[in-house]
Amino acid sequence: MIPVTKPFLPPREEYNQFLDGIWNREWLTNMGPLASKLEMLLKDYLDVNHLLYVTNGTVALQLAIKALELKGEIITTSFSFVATTSSIVWEGCTPVFVDIDQKTLNIDAGKIEAAITENTSAILATHVYGNPCDVYHIQQIADKYNLKVIYDAAHAFAVTINGKSILEFGDISTCSLHATKLYHSIEGGLVVTKNPNLLKKIAYMRNFGISGFDSFSELGINAKNSEFHAAMGLANLNWVDRLIARRLEIINRYLSNLQGFKGQMPKWNSLANNNGAYLPFVLESEELLLRIKASLDSFEIFTRRYFYPSLASSLPYLEPNFLPITEDISRRMLCLPLYYELTDEEIDWICRLILRTQNN
Ligand SMILES: *Cc1c(COP(=O)(O)O)cnc(C)c1O
């Protein structure tokens, strides 16, 4: 069986080494030494000034919306994981969907202005598959209309643009360290902001709003993460460069095998690196997608329609909204198997099956 993704597990002794420390200290959660160390090392690795390690990427988004005190309408994309939209609704705001760019698959910055009303408070965009949005154009629009910007950078761990971390764009960027992501701590998330006051506020919010022994400064929630999760993050951090390098190798092997394939990868932001998080292809037609998917399924090779369906037209708590490009792309989008342990032989086999099915 070949899954579409497989969480990376470090050699067990590398994880165990951290567990010994936990047993010695008997400090299990509440910003323990491993969680603090992970924050410090990630700041360094990602080259950002401030960062908070939280429970998961969804809570990271909710903290961002809450901390910026957003109200009313938030302009966003329908071509993302459901957490991007559900976080907006969960925080009592209304998502206003703008269609994506046909080539990059990110929110079409050129269509944002037309969606702004007097109730718009922010733009929440996803760097889909780790491919950065047009962050300079989006910031221009935000400045002109006095809007906040949040980036859902769940896919964009270790992505830089113009040599600078993508996580430092917008008022806040969030990342997910879920087991299925490129770099993970089983469950986990990051909140990144350049604004130290905002960071402090979110740090209190993460811990019930507690600001001192007998005082509260904010409405808070429990968004902390445990020492066991931080330990996985620390163990995996020693591997992340190897993980990215191998994943990029895998992608290149697929691409060189798949000459003549009627599928195209998104157009990558020319100022950014690819972190090898996903292997997405827009196929020529949905019919071809279904044939390839069924054929691979029959050999227990699993692919994923990520993202399908379009959020705007399928969430039961929203009035359906059909965005032409998102609808079209989401029907033709297929992610192929990509994980550290995938072998060259498996890649070659998958590619042969794909081309044979396509040409039949
Ligand atoms: C995974 C993901 C999330 C949610 O992250 P969790 O850590 O699973 O809560 C949010 N947005 C996008 C785009 C994601 O892929």
CA of 13 to the centre of ligand 1 (A): 29
| CA-nearest residue, atom 2 of ligand 1 | 154
Bridge partners, 73 (sequence order): 94, 120
CA of 301 to the centre of ligand 1 (A): 24
The 10s digit of each residue's pLDDT in 138-149 is 999 999 999 999
**Region 240-359: CATH code:** 3.90.1150.10
- Predicted TM-score (pTM) of the model is 0.97
The 10s digit of each residue's pLDDT in 312-350 is 999 999 999 999 999 999 999 999 999 999 999 999 999
Q: Where does CATH 3.40.640.10 sit in the chain? A: 12-237
CA of 61 to the centre of ligand 1 (A): 9
If phi over 0 gives left and psi between -120 and 50 gives alpha, with beta otherwise, what is residue 300? left
| CA-nearest residue, atom 5 of ligand 1 | 57
Q: Where does CATH 3.90.1150.10 sit in the chain? A: 240-359
The 10s digit of each residue's pLDDT in 122-174 is 999 999 999 999 999 999 999 999 999 999 999 999 999 999 999 999 999 99
The 10s digit of each residue's pLDDT in 30-54 is 999 999 999 999 999 999 999 999 9
Ligand 1 neighbour 246 (Cβ under 6 A): no
CA of 257 to the centre of ligand 1 (A): 31
- What confidence score (pLDDT) does residue 165 get? 98
The fold of the 12-237 domain, in CATH, is Aspartate Aminotransferase; domain 2 (3.40.640)
Ligand 1 neighbour 193 (Cβ under 6 A): no
The candidate with the shortest Cα–Cα distance to 46, out of 179, 233, 225, 204, is 233
- What confidence score (pLDDT) does residue 37 get? 98
CA of 314 to the centre of ligand 1 (A): 18
Ligand 1 neighbour 84 (Cβ under 6 A): yes
Residue to mutate, 5, 56, 58, ligand 1, most ligand atoms under 8 Å from C-beta = 58
Q: Give the atom of ligand 1 at the shortest distance from the alpha carbon of 177.
A: 7
Ligand 1 neighbour 154 (Cβ under 6 A): yes
Ligand 1 neighbour 152 (Cβ under 6 A): yes
